[in-house]
Structure 1
Amino acid sequence: MRTKFYLPFIALALIATSCNSKKEATKESGIRLANLDQTINPRNDFYQYACGGWMKANPLTDEYSSFGSFDQLAENNRTQIKGLIEELAKQQSQPGSITQKIGDLYNIAMDSAKLNADGVAPIKEYLDKLAAIKDRNGLSQEIATMHRDGFGPFFGLYVGADDMNSSMNMAQLYQGGLSLGEREYYLDDDDHTKEIRTKFEEHVGKMFQLAGFTAEEAQKAAKNVMTVETRLAEASKSAVELRDPYANYNKITVAQLKKEVPSIDWDAYFTTIGLKDLQEVNVGQMDEIKTVADLLKKEDLDVLKAYLQWNVINTASSYLSDNFVAQNFDFYGRTLSGTKEMQPRWKRAVSAVNGVLGEAVGQMYSEKYFPAAAKERMIKLVGNLQKALGERIQGLEWMSEETKAKALEKLAAFHVKVGYPDKWRDYSNLEIKNDSYWANIIRSNHFDHDKMIAKAGKPVDKDEWLMTPQTVNAYYNPTTNEICFPAAILQYPFFDMNADDACNYGAIGVVIGHEMTHGFDDQGRQYDKDGNLKDWWTPEDAKNFKERAQVLVDYFGNIEVLPGLKANGELTLGENIADHGGLQVSFLALQKAMAENPLGKDEHGFTPEQRFFLSYANVWADNTRDEQIRLQTKSDPHSLGRWRVNAALPHISMWYDAFGVKEGDALYLPVEKRASIW
């Protein structure tokens, strides 16, 4: 689904994949010379030096717009999960059992003959229902129905922790409704963005024709979609503005909402969506909601109906016949990100099963591929990193003792999750049956929606996981003050049971430190130890922090990622702070570990310090198409892999010492221009 939820956690990156830890106890250095390009001077281009060999050995295939270490793991993970799923898909399982649901959904996704025979039929009734709308009276109820069904017209709703009372869940409205995701795609005036808009409108028209509309009807519908989405974009906040938690917190009573936005029938909306008698709600972006109300009141009804129909076509397209899937890929894959060839059907089917039955698959995956020893070692690493971050906080010369005490309290209160949940999700009430692929997705959307809605007004479950175990990623959630490391990230190049501490502290150690630092980045620092949005800083300390963070904003904002295109230092600030802190915290933890268990040069002649930084760089090895670089620069809060190395390390004094970087080298940055925060 493309619905955009502003979930309150901050992830390392957004890629799902797996783990495959070795079982031998022998420790190795962990450095693979084949990954390096030793013809390059590391002091001039450390990324190319550390990753050039890997990049040459892993050229982009047509299936990818970007291929990196994450994707390499993803290939391994899909193969492992495919093996687990296909075993279930071959057998006759008890109806209603989890094995039946996993196996049948996979078989349905793989049944190209039925999908192509069905064509547009699975959504035809829905489109006809929207076409039959005669007046505006039922629009609010219809939008609510569509939200529960998994579509995202106009705006969104989710239930999550109240930022000001983090132990309790509340309903939250947020801006949405943009097929292109970011408002800039509708508003920017550069040639590339204008071309994207033109091709998007053409794409919408083609999709309407596939759904049975005439060429003339489809062209008109596409223009109507652009009319609505442009209006929404004009009223929406930018990705940078959405990073300010106070500016996006507006808790009001439903009575106040009715008074401020009377053109939406809120009683009908909330009742239909399952929140009858709701008393209060957080309206994150009120201007956008008011624009929606204005559209519903004044815009031509045919324009609104075309927009609603587009939401159905667009969201369902991946689960329909091959012509819908191909056209959807042609725009979102080929045009927007530069991918030349879509994934084979089995990969898409595995992803669908992961999306619908993620924890059930994760339970099988964890049992087979996640050794207990990995969890034990990871928990020890987390403890070591917590101690190191505590020491760095205590040693900060720019922070007062008063703020340090509160920072240390927050650090000590971190809730740590490793591997997989203690309690698995119950899928008993989710029905998977052989009617249509899309019908199963709708039932899954209802299942997920109803679970979410049931949380409203109830205590936050701090043991709930926001990622599945088979996801190679990690996250920090400020409202629960938790750090989470799913099982799948605990493998090379992040974590290697065979590698020595220098390798593991440079990779998974920095990941741990990265997530911990998110608790103290420009967003996370605004939440206290209990997860409440609350200012615990002295004014002087807050001022010092902002001044020091601005160094990273300015530095990254001046990077030219493509000719004429600069990185967004404000959008990527949180992730850049987390990388900056993670590197320093993990390096200190390594030094403390080596005080007890000294390490020397490895068989290649690299010192432990050099191995630390090489391992860090290898995590971000990647080849990326220009289209994907443009897409990420406009929308992704993570810096590109190259700059998570070549722009992050010049601010780390220990890297200069490890590789003898000095004035005159291309990556050298004078001490007074380096960031110094955590």
Structure 2
Amino acid sequence: MSHPLRLLCLALSIALGACDHATPPAPDAAAPTAATPPAAAPALGSFGFDTAGMDRSLTPGDDFYGYANGGWLQSVQIPPDRSSWNSFSTLGERALSDTRAILEAAAGNTAAAGDEARIGAWYTAFMDEAGIEAKGLAPLRPSLAAIEAIADKHALAKALGAALRADVDLLNATDYYTPNLFGLWVAPNLLRPNEYAPYLVQGGLGMPDRDFYLEGGRMAELRTQYAAYIAQLFELAGIADGAARAQRILALETAIARVHASQLETNDVAKGANAWRITDFARRAPGLDWAAYFAAAGLGRQPEFIVWQPAAVSGIAALVAAQPLRAWQDWLAFHAIDDAASYLPKAFAEAHFAFHGTALAGTPQQRERWKRAVDEVNDALGDAVGRIYVARHFSAPTKQRAEAMVANLVTAFGGRIDKLEWMSAQTKQRARAKLAGLKVEVGYPQHWRDYGALEARRDDALGNARRASLFEYRRNLAKLGRPIDRGEWFMLPQTVNALNVPLENRLIFPAAILQAPFFDGAADDAVNYGAIGAVIGHEISHSFDNSGALFDETGKLANWWTAQDLEHFEAAGAALAAQFDNYRPLPDLAVNGKLTLGENIADVAGLATAFDAYQLAHPDPGAALEGFTAPQRLFLGWAQAWRGKMREAALRNALLTNVHAPGQYRALTVRNLDAWYPAFDVQPGQALYLEPAQRVKVW
């Protein structure tokens, strides 16, 4: 997928693309070796497709998603430790197990050195529940005492600045919020992509979005549960007047929510390109002692920032002055406990999950501790783990085949550009230049991160987490003033996902997604093109979606369209948004076509590109397999890639905050492709039929 803040070099998206093959690994890169040869038979069915998961009693033209996935939907249950379950989850569980083996081996090797020792220490400390129980709240007490000692707003600004981190979790959250007052990321400058800039984004909320504080109905119930959770954490910490503190914190966060930008405003790249000099903050956002804040954050000498939501930054700064110091101290104390809960005794971790997992997302059961430990180690030492993961689980043949698919897909996308009747030669030339400069990296980075300065102890779970957070923050700050590292990865090889980096015109495709059901070396190529091929096409298309199209071939935020061409492109986007607005997964809540537009454009263009690329690779599609023609197999591969289930609470959150439509509607992208209609004999009068003029053609 992609995210509007992918301009921060982080696009949540599943796909890959490039106009050239990835270069050979640098000397410090782990050369992947196949631990086992490619499977002699596909992982799913006889040709790489789950025919048993279909419901052939349904008519494709009336319910294509159900036709492709009805059997699976009836038989599969969401595991109790999950808020949703889908194709990504299946691969995610496999990656968890593979990574667990790496961590346990490192933990058992007490003679290990370097990164292996760090991995083992990290895993051991987090898994040491008895040791964590014995320490109680002691590891956190110095921080709580320092918060209680804050005497004035100047000291408050220093405390807030010292807490600034590169913690805007765009890869693992449905949105990009941070509970810290502000979040920061360092990435190429939107306006000058040959230099780094620090991006400052709105924060301060403990719940996922402003709507959780301002809307009624379910949100009002969640606010009551949130206040109870806040009070519970204070009680567990032995801090008096928890209920009163909770009300102050909720009132403060509600005031913050009122000044926050909405999801749609935040998704507007043009509105985010706000360059502020460091001297501008006192004038444009009075109320916070910015000199003290930036000095404590290690940014006192940084001359310029990109302020993503300027009104929110100004509003939050004003609240620092207007709200009582006691409210801010309570707020800091709560978030310190909440942030540390996973590394504190069981009562804290269970309370944290009861609110964040069950109340917010509807997940009944917390995941096993080892699974949480894998996530923790990946967050802290992901490249060190990834280097071992790649050597064990990613083969050279898989990499080569994926790169060959990429080449076909880029060629096919170029052909689609050439065939656009509505686009002028001038704009086509710029689009072609952008495609020609697109880079892809498959499997793993060329250079691995150096964790030599990061200390990991076998008896200090919370300290490990805090040192890792500070290490990552300082690593980001160290980029400022240096040349752009165009080989940096923003995902781990063991992550089941992929991303587009528009400021670098680059795509990244981790090793872990190159597995069934997305990619299977023993599977029918039509299924592979419908699944991973369309994912690759999707990611290529992100360079040309409603946000990606704003960046030129150098990665600069610049208009390269003629006025008439841009008008046509925006009209197509509006039509696609209107199409998705009509999808209503819940009686009172519909898909937001504008919020999900970038992903939907990438899906339409990506699937169309995959269809074209398959035809390039297979001019003769051959005979049907088990009665399915090659076009049918390709479209069914796409539909099964998006099968999934989601608990209602998680679905409601996603509809408000996620830039992706739910999977069942992404599968219905086929409605916009002319080739789908004859493939399944879809006729007028059937529920999914669109007249040719209603089929949205984007790229």
TM-score with structure 2 length normalisation? Answer: 0.92
Matched, 1:579 2:590: no
| Aligned with 2:133 (options 116, 137, 144) | 116
Q: CA 1:303/1:445 → structure 2, altered by over 3 Å: closer, same or farther? A: same
Paired position in structure 2 for 1:607: 629
1:367-408 deviations in Å (ceiling 9; x for gaps): 010000011111111111011001101111121111011001
User: Secondary structure of 1:316's match?
Assistant: helix
For 2:211, the equivalent position in structure 1 comes to: 184
Q: Structure 2 residue aligned with 1:235, among 253, 256, 259? A: 259
Question: 1:170 Cα deviation (Å)?
Answer: 1.1
Shift of 1:649: 1.7
Mapped partners of 2:35, 2:58: distance in 1: 31
Question: Separation in 2 of the partners of 1:497 and 1:8?
Answer: 30
1:630 pairs with 2:652:
yes
Residue type at the aligned position of 2:691: P
Gap change, CA 1:269 and 1:285, over 3 Å in 2: same
Partner of 2:219: 193
In structure 1, what is the equivalent of residue 153 of structure 2? 136
Partner of 1:71: 89
1:665 aligns with 2:683: no
What are the superposed Cα offsets for residues 83-103 of structure 1, whole Å, 9 maximum, x if unpaired? 1211111121245x2111111
Give the drift of 1:149: 9.6
Partner of 2:642: 620
Retained in 2: the 8 A contact 1:29–1:499?
yes
Which residue in the other structure is 2:201 paired with?
174
Structure 2: which amino acid aligns with 1:74? G
Deviation at 1:21, TM superposition (A): 8.5
Q: CA deviation at 1:630?
A: 0.5
Note if contact 1:22-1:498 (Cα within 8 Å) is conserved in structure 2. no
Please report how far the alpha carbon of residue 43 of structure 1 lies from its aligned counterpart in structure 2 after TM superposition. 1.8
For the Cα contact (< 8 Å) 2:495–2:513, is it kept in 1? yes
Contact 1:10 1:518 in 2 (8 A): no
Aligned length: 664
Tell me the residue number matched to 1:276: 300
Distance 1:522 1:116 in 2: 50
- C-alpha displacement at 1:464, in angstroms? 0.2
Q: Alpha carbons of 1:149 and 1:163: their partners in 2 closer, same or farther (altered >3 Å)?
A: closer
Q: How does 1:192-591 map to 2 (within 5 A)?
A: 192-214=218-240, 217-591=241-615
Shift of 1:152: 4.2
Distance of 1:261 and 1:162 partners within structure 2: 22
Quote the Cα distance in structure 1 between the aligned partners of 2:339 and 2:293.
21
Displacement, 1:171? Answer: 1.7
- How far does residue 61 in structure 1 lie from its aligned partner after superposition? 2.4
Preserved contact between residue 84 and residue 646 of structure 2 (Cα < 8 Å)? yes
Partner in structure 1 of residue 101 of structure 2 = 83
Taking a change above 3 Å as real, the CA distance of residues 631 and 21 of structure 1, as seen in their structure-2 partners, is: farther
Distance 1:5 1:585, change over 3 A: closer
Shift in Å at residue 5 of structure 1?
Answer: 7.8
Q: What do residues 92-141 of structure 1 show as CA deviations (whole Å, max 9, x unaligned)?
A: 1245x211111111111111111122222221211121112121121221
Q: 1: CA distance between counterparts of 2:490 and 2:265?
A: 24
1:159, 1:483 → 2: CA distance?
18
CA distance in 2, matches of 1:47, 1:115: 47
Deviations 1:186-211 (A, max 9, x none): 1223x112112221121111112112
Secondary structure, aligned partner of 1:638: coil
Unaligned ranges ≥5, structure 2 = 16-33, 168-177
Contact persistence 1:51–1:618 (CA under 8 A)? yes
| Whole-Å separation in 1 of the counterparts to 2:486 and 2:50 | 39
Cα 1:264–1:571, aligned 2, differ >3 Å: closer, same or farther?
A: same
| Partner of residue 23, structure 1 | 38
CA contact (8 A) 1:513 1:585 kept: yes
Distance in structure 1 (CA, Å) of the matches to 2:221 and 2:499: 35
Taking only the aligned residue pairs, the percentage that are identical comes to 37
1:192-239, Cα deviation, whole Å (9 max, x unpaired): 12112221121111112112123xx11111111112211111111111
Q: Which amino acid aligns with 1:497?
A: G
Distance 1:148 1:187 in 2: 27
* Equivalent residue letter for 1:427: Y
Tell me how far 1:462 sits from its aligned partner: 0.7
Superposed CA RMSD: 1.9
Partner amino acid, structure 1, of 2:688: L
User: CA offsets per residue over residues 331-384 of structure 1, 9 Å max, x none?
Assistant: 111111111111011111111111111011100000010000011111111111
1:159 to 167, 186, 189: 186
The SS at the match of 1:560 is coil
1:339 match: secondary structure: coil
Gaps of 5+ in 1: none
Indicate how the Cα distance of structure 1 residues 11 and 158 shifts in structure 2: closer, same or farther if over 3 A, else same: closer
Q: Is residue 413–residue 481 contact of structure 1 (8 Å, CA) maintained in 2? A: yes
- Identify which of 126, 148, 165 aligns with 2:143: 126
Alpha-carbon displacement from aligned partner over 1:581-632 (angstroms, at most 9, x marks no partner): 001011011111111x542211x11000000011111111112211111011
Say if 1:21 and 1:370, in contact at 8 Å, map to a contact too.
no
User: Which is worse superposed, 174-183 or 444-453?
Assistant: 174-183
Residue 158 of structure 1: how far off its partner (Å): 2.2
- Cα deviation, residue 555, structure 1: 1.2
Q: Is the 8 A contact 1:254 1:279 kept in 2?
A: yes
SS of 1:89 mapped into structure 2: helix
Which of 65, 68, 75 is the matching residue for 1:50?
Answer: 68
1:289-309 deviation line (CA, Å, top 9, x unaligned) = 112221121211111111111
- In 2, Cα distance between equivalents of 1:194 and 1:532: 43
Indicate the SS of the match to 1:613. helix
Deviation of 1:25 after TM superposition, in Å, equals: 6.3
Aligned partners of 2:179 and 2:206 also within 8 Å: no
Q: Is the 8 A contact 1:154 1:176 kept in 2?
A: yes
Residue in 2 aligned with 1:147?
164
| Conserved 8 A contact 2:186-2:479 | yes
Q: Contact conserved, 1:21 with 1:490, CA < 8 A, in 2?
A: no
Partners of 2:14 and 2:536 within 8 A in 1? no
Does structure 2 retain, via aligned residues, the 8 Å contact 1:30–1:498? yes
Query: How many Å separate the matches in 1 of 2:111 and 2:5?
Result: 35
Match of 2:10 in 1: 9
Contact 1:22 1:497 in 2 (8 A): no
Structure 1 residue 56, shift from structure 2 partner: 3.1
Q: Deviations along 1:620-662, whole A, 9 cap, x unmatched?
A: 111221111101111110111111113x121121111111111
What TM-score, normalized by structure 1, do the two folds share? 0.95
Whether the 8 Å contact between 1:162 and 1:170 is mirrored in structure 2 is: yes
Query: Within 2, Cα distance between the matches of 1:209 and 1:5?
Result: 38
Aligned to 2:697: 676
Q: Which moved more, 1:199-208 or 1:536-545?
A: 199-208
Amino acid at match of 2:678: D
Contact 1:561–1:567 under 8 Å retained in 2? yes
